[in-house]
């Protein structure tokens, strides 16, 4: 049983989200940060079981969700209180487990870093992933136009249902050509990229003037080709970030922004709503990883205690 230290809480886990980072950790390709639990699991929902010294934000029994550096596939987990948020009104624990890792990552990269604004156009790669589906919904809530790429026509239909204005099957169409056609040659203001190296050159080609690329994963490799002349002519910016290794204070800033700007949008489950692909018992986490690695999921895969 974990023991809460100063400014820490122990959460009795009711549900835990599955992330691609979990499958990479299992394969030995993404070790947890120093000092973090070696148990996988980056986001959970449940109730406060115990609190450490200095805690005034939450009390025992409160329904919460949290982003973790690890330790979510468990009955109880320990986390700094800065990384904890209340379960939104009307959301179940299973539904709330879809929020932390997805929203922390998407909000920080789309809003804080890339500064996506109403009236702009964003290209979201992997629109049916947990991250991608959340990015579509959050961008729509901000008043942006969303273009997304996916690997099948069924997934295209799913993205349009989520709120994307255009969905591109990258196996059948070149996304740069399709994006330029949709934007009447202007390109997109922001790219949210989970592919990385193999898409770098084409992401730059798809940018509008003053466009921004936010790279959050490297499923297509860590090295790519970049024509600096094209980037300079477009006055473009490329930025990258990870969330897992950030300090509790850094994650706390994201949590505060979410509570102020996004949490009020959640109770109605309208623009931003839970997108759950499938649920598995904690003992069947291996099957959940199989589902993730098959790449057929639409939305978040969740473990339930």
Mean pLDDT of 96-118: 98
Residue 294 lies in a domain: yes
Q: In the 3-class helix/strand/coil scheme, how is 275-291 assigned residue by residue?
A: CEEEEEEHHHHHHHHHH
Give the separation between CA 289 and CA 99, rounded to whole angstroms. Answer: 19
In this prediction the pTM is 0.96
Mean pLDDT of 85-104: 98
Specify the number of domains making up the chain.
Answer: 2
108 and 227 co-located in one domain: yes
293, 299, 148, 26: CA torsion to nearest 10 = -30
Share of the chain above pLDDT 70, in %: 100
Residue 235 lies in a domain: yes
Residue 169 lies in a domain: yes
Residue 213 lies in a domain: yes
Domain end position, chosen among 222, 240, 258: 240
Bridge-based pairing state of the strands 300-304 and 276-281: parallel
Q: What is the pLDDT of residues 286-296, one digit of tens each?
A: 999 999 999 99
- Alpha helix (H) residue ranges in 123-192: 130-141, 153-162, 175-182
109 and 90 co-located in one domain: no
Residue 17 lies in a domain: yes
Domain end position, chosen among 240, 266, 286: 240
225 and 257 co-located in one domain: no
94 and 119 co-located in one domain: no
Residue 49 lies in a domain: yes
80 and 168 co-located in one domain: no
pLDDT for res 201: 97
Cβ proximity of 2 and 74 under 8 Å: no
The CATH number of residue 135's host domain is: 3.40.50.720
Share of the chain above pLDDT 90, in %: 100
Residue 2 lies in a domain: no
Domain end position, chosen among 209, 240, 271: 240
Residue 3 lies in a domain: no
88 and 173 co-located in one domain: no
Range of the domain at 111: 102-240
Cβ proximity of 188 and 206 under 8 Å: yes
Cβ proximity of 139 and 82 under 8 Å: no
pLDDT for res 53: 96
Burial of 232-263, coded b for 16+ CB within 10 Å and e otherwise, reads eebebbbeeeebbebeeeebbebbebbeeebb
pLDDT for res 102: 97
Q: What is the pLDDT of residues 216-229, one digit of tens each?
A: 999 999 999 999 99
Give the separation between CA 285 and CA 302, rounded to whole angstroms. Answer: 9
Closest CA to 202 of 187, 222, 181: 187
Largest CA distance in the chain: 58
Mean pLDDT of 146-158: 97
Q: In the 3-class helix/strand/coil scheme, how is 81-94 assigned residue by residue?
A: HHHEEECCCCCCHH
CA atoms within 13 A on the CB side of 37: 20
Helices and strands, counts by H and E, the chain: 10, 13
The CATH number of residue 70's host domain is: 3.90.180.10
pLDDT for res 129: 95
118 and 67 co-located in one domain: no
How big is the chain by its Cα radius of gyration, in Å? 19
């Amino acid at each position: 049983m974990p023991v809460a230290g100063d400014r820490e809480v122990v959460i009795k886990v009711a549900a835990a989200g599955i992330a691609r980072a979990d499958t990479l950790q299992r394969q030995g390709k993404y070790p947890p940060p120093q000092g973090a639990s070696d148990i996988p699991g980056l986001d959970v929902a449940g109730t406060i079981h115990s609190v450490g010294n200095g805690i005034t934000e939450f009390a025992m029994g409160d329904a919460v969700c949290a982003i973790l550096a690890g330790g979510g596939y468990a009955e109880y987990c320990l986390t700094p209180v800065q990384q904890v948020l209340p379960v939104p009104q009307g959301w179940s624990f299973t539904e709330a487990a879809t929020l932390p890792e997805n929203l922390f990552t998407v909000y920080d990269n789309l809003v804080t870093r890339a500064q996506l604004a109403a009236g702009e156009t964003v290209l979201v790669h992997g629109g049916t992933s947990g991250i991608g589906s959340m990015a579509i919904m959050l961008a729509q809530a901000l008043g942006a136009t969303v273009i997304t790429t996916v690997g099948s026509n069924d997934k295209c239909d799913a993205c349009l249902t989520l709120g994307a204005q255009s969905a591109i099957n990258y196996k059948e169409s070149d996304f740069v050509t399709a994006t330029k056609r949709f934007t009447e040659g202007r390109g997109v203001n922001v790219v949210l990229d989970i592919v990385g190296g193999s898409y770098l050159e084409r992401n730059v080609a798809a940018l509008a003037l003053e466009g921004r690329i936010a790279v959050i994963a490297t499923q297509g490799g860590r090295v790519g080709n970049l024509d600096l002349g094209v980037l300079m002519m477009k006055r473009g910016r490329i930025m990258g970030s990870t969330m897992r290794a950030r300090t509790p204070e850094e994650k706390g800033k994201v949590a505060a922004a979410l509570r102020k700007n996004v949490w009020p949008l959640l109770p109605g489950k309208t623009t931003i709503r839970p997108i759950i692909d499938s649920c598995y018992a904690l003992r069947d986490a291996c099957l959940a990883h199989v589902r993730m690695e098959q790449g057929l999921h639409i939305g978040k895969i969740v473990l339930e205690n």
